[in-house]
Structure 1
Amino acid sequence: MLKSKYIIPVLALLMQVLIFGFREPAKLHTISTGNAQELKDFFKYTPDRLPFVSAHRGGPRKGFPENCIATFENTLSHCPATLEIDPRFTKDGKIVLMHDATLDRTTNGTGKVADHTLAELRKLRLKDTEGNLTRFTIPTLDEALEWAKGKTILVIDAKDVPVEVRAGKVVEHKAEGNAIIIAYSIDDIKKCYQVSKDIVMEVMASKPQQIAELDKCGVPWENLIGFVSHDLPEDKTVFSEIHQRGSMCILGSSRNIDRQFMAGKITAAELEAGYLNLVRHGADIIEADLGIESGAALSALQQGASSKAKYFRK
C-alpha cells in the first residue's frame, strides 16, 4: 500500500500527466517571488531594474494555444516572463482560462463558455494560433495558480469574473507572491485592497489625471503597477511620475509592432528595435503577444548587475 506521505506527490504527478501528457520537464527561466513582500519588492521601480516581458494570454504560437499551461511552460523555456491570463465562469460556477466568451475560435467546441459545465469543457481540446487542434485541454484558474508557484507571476485579467472573486482566489491559494490582479477602476482597486492588502494590482495610468486619482484612492503605490498604454502616450512624463512613486510601468506591443510583424509589415530586426524603443521611452515591462520574440529582444538588457537579479533564475 502507498504510504500517506507519498499520496500528495503522486496525485500532483498524475494531475500534471492529465493536463500535459507524458513529456520531459522543461528547463524554465523563472521569476521566483516567494511571498507578497518579495513580489512588491520585485515590482518596485529602481533605476537598475531589469526590463522583462508579460506574455499576453501566456504567449501562444503554433502548437501552443492561448491560456494553456503547456504554453506557459513553452514561453518560460525561452525567457523569463510574467503571464497574462483570462478567467471566465463556467455554468456550474467554476473558473476556467478562456479569452473569448465563446468556445468556437480557440477550441473544438461551440457556444458560450458560461453555458457549459467544467466537466463538459474538460472534454474539449484547444486550438493553436493557426487553428490547429492540439492535445491540450482547458485549465482552471485553480490549476494555473498552483502551477505558477516558484515559476512565474500570473497577471489575472477580468473578463466576467469580478475583482473580489479573483482576489479571493489568490488568497485561497496563498498566491499573493505569484499572482497580480488587473483592476480597471478606482472602485475595483479599493475592493481588491479590502480583500487583501498583500495583493499587487495592474492599474490604468496613461494620463496625469489617472495618476492623481490613484494618489487619492487610499491604496499605497507599492500595491500598484501602472499600465500606461498600448501605444506611447502623448504625455511621456507619466513614466517619470509613476517611477517617482516607486512603481513600474507597462507598455503594450500587442496592438502595434506585434501586429505589424505578424502581418509582414516589419522585419524581425525592426520588431526587436521596436521593443527596445519602448524600454528607452520608460517601459519596464512589455506586454507582448510575441512573448518569446520580445524576451529575446530584452535578454541583453537583463545581463547587468541589478538588485532584481535575485528573482530571475533558470
Structure 2
Amino acid sequence: MISRDKKEKPHYISIKNAKQLHAYFKYSPTRPILISGHRGGMLKGYPENCIESFEKTLSYMESFFEIDPRLTKDSIIVLMHDATIDRTTTGKGKVSDYTYQELLQFNLVDREGNATPYKIPTLEECIKWSKGKTILNLDIKDVPLQFMADFIDKIKPVNVMYTVHNAKQARYYYDRNNQAMFSCWCKNMDEFNNYENAGLPWKQIMAYVGPSIKPDQQTLYNALHKNGVMCMISVAPTHDRTKTDIEKINGYKAEIAKHPDVIETDYPYLFKDIDKAK
C-alpha cells in the first residue's frame, strides 16, 4: 500500500497520491494500531510543533503528526498551538502581533521549559520537509477556511489531511478538493449522521471519537468500521499528563486493550516497545 525507499530511514511513510493517503487510513480489524504524534510528539530537548521533533520521532517509529497552523501579523501560516508564544518560546505575546521575521528572534522551548536552538516553522516549510516522510494532520487554529483552502490549493500536497469539528467544515474543504482527507470529530451517532447526510465519502475520513473507547458508543464504532473508517482516541488530555513514563505506559496499555484503531499522544516514542497488535 505505502511505498518506502530503502535509502530512507525505516520509519518514513511515503505517500505519493491521494489514493494512497486514503488507503493508509482504511480500517481493517487485523491492522496494528496507528500512532499519531500530538503536536508532532515531544521529548526532552525537542519542542512541540517543530520539524526537528518530527524527525526525531520518526527515528524511533512510524508516525503521522497532528500540528497546529496559526496566522502571523503578516499572514504567514506558522505552527503554534496557543494564541500566544509565552509557553512554547523564549518570547512573549500573541502570534498575531508579530510578523514571521519578528518571530524568528525567539527560540522554541521544550516541555520542561528549556530553550532549544530551534525556531518556529512555517506550515510551508513543514509540508516541504514532510514529502516522502510522513502525513500531516492540520488542526487549524485561527486560519480562515478560505485562506487555508487557497494555501493548500496553491501547494497541492498529497500527504496532508484536515482536522474538522463538524460536517459543515468538512464539506467546505471537500467542495474545494474532492480528494481531501479528514480527521473528523465524531463522538456520537448524531455527529455520524451529520457527516453521512453531508455526502462526504467515508473512504476519506478518520474519526476522532474521544479520549477513550467507551462501551456505550459501540454502535458508533460499528457504524464507522462498517464504512471502513478508523476510530482514533487521544491520550493527550489523560494518560500523557501523568508524571512518570511507567504511569503513562500503563495507561496506554489500558487503552490498547479497548482496541482503538489510532492513538494520538504527546509521547509517541513511548509506544515503540509496546505491543500494539490487535
Whether the TM-score (by the shorter chain) exceeds 0.5 is yes
> 1:214 deviation in Å?
1.3
> 1:240 deviation in Å?
1.7
Q: Pick from 90, 104, 128 the counterpart of residue 146 of structure 1.
A: 128
Q: What does residue 200 of structure 2 align with? A: 219
Q: What does residue 13 of structure 1 align with? A: none
> 1:28 deviation in Å?
5.2
Q: What does residue 291 of structure 1 align with? A: 268
Distance in 2 between residues matched to 1:160 and 1:217, nearest whole Å: 24
Distance in 1 between residues matched to 2:221 and 2:252, nearest whole Å: 16
What letter matches 1:247 in structure 2? Answer: V
**CA contact 2:41–2:266 (8 Å) conserved in 1:** yes
Distance in 2 between residues matched to 1:44 and 1:26, nearest whole Å: 24
Q: What does residue 20 of structure 1 align with? A: none
**CA contact 1:164–1:195 (8 Å) conserved in 2:** no
Q: What does residue 48 of structure 1 align with? A: 30
> 1:279 deviation in Å?
3.5
Q: Pick from 93, 111, 117 the counterpart of residue 111 of structure 1.
A: 93
> 1:273 deviation in Å?
4.4
Q: What does residue 81 of structure 2 align with? A: 99
**CA contact 1:81–1:295 (8 Å) conserved in 2:** no
Distance in 2 between residues matched to 1:245 and 1:170, nearest whole Å: 27
Q: What does residue 244 of structure 1 align with? A: 226
> 1:26 deviation in Å?
8.9
Distance in 1 between residues matched to 2:270 and 2:154, nearest whole Å: 34
Q: What does residue 121 of structure 1 align with? A: 103
Q: What does residue 277 of structure 2 align with? A: 301
Mapping of residues 32-181 of structure 1, within 5 Å? 32-175=14-157, 177-181=158-162
Distance in 2 between residues matched to 1:296 and 1:162, nearest whole Å: 40
Distance in 2 between residues matched to 1:276 and 1:248, nearest whole Å: 19
When structure 1 is superposed on structure 2, of 209-218 and 274-283 the one drifting more is: 274-283
Q: SS of the residue aligned with 1:72?
A: helix
Q: What does residue 205 of structure 1 align with? A: 186
What letter matches 2:151 in structure 1? Answer: K
Change in 2 beyond 3 A, CA 1:100/1:26: farther
Gaps of 5+ in 1: 1-24, 303-314
Deviations 1:163-199 (A, max 9, x none): 3433333332221x21110011221011010110111
Deviations 1:63-105 (A, max 9, x none): 0011000000011111100111001100001110011111111
Change in 2 beyond 3 A, CA 1:28/1:86: farther
- What number of residue pairs does the alignment pair up? 271
Identity of aligned residues (%): 38
What letter matches 1:64 in structure 2? Answer: Y
**CA contact 2:189–2:220 (8 Å) conserved in 1:** yes
Distance in 1 between residues matched to 2:13 and 2:250, nearest whole Å: 25
Q: What does residue 282 of structure 1 align with? A: 259
Q: TM-score, normalised by structure 2?
A: 0.91
Change in 2 beyond 3 A, CA 1:239/1:277: farther
RMSD of aligned residue pairs (Cα, Å): 1.9
Q: What does residue 174 of structure 2 align with? A: 193
Distance in 2 between residues matched to 1:292 and 1:171, nearest whole Å: 33
Q: TM-score, normalised by structure 1?
A: 0.81
What letter matches 1:55 in structure 2? Answer: G
Deviations 1:234-291 (A, max 9, x none): 423322211111111101111111212xx24xx62x5434334434423111000111
Q: What does residue 217 of structure 2 align with? A: 235
When structure 1 is superposed on structure 2, of 59-68 and 224-233 the one drifting more is: 224-233
Q: SS of the residue aligned with 2:39?
A: helix
Deviations 1:218-239 (A, max 9, x none): 1111121110001333423322
**CA contact 2:213–2:260 (8 Å) conserved in 1:** no
What letter matches 1:61 in structure 2? Answer: L
Distance in 2 between residues matched to 1:228 and 1:294, nearest whole Å: 20
> 1:204 deviation in Å?
1.0
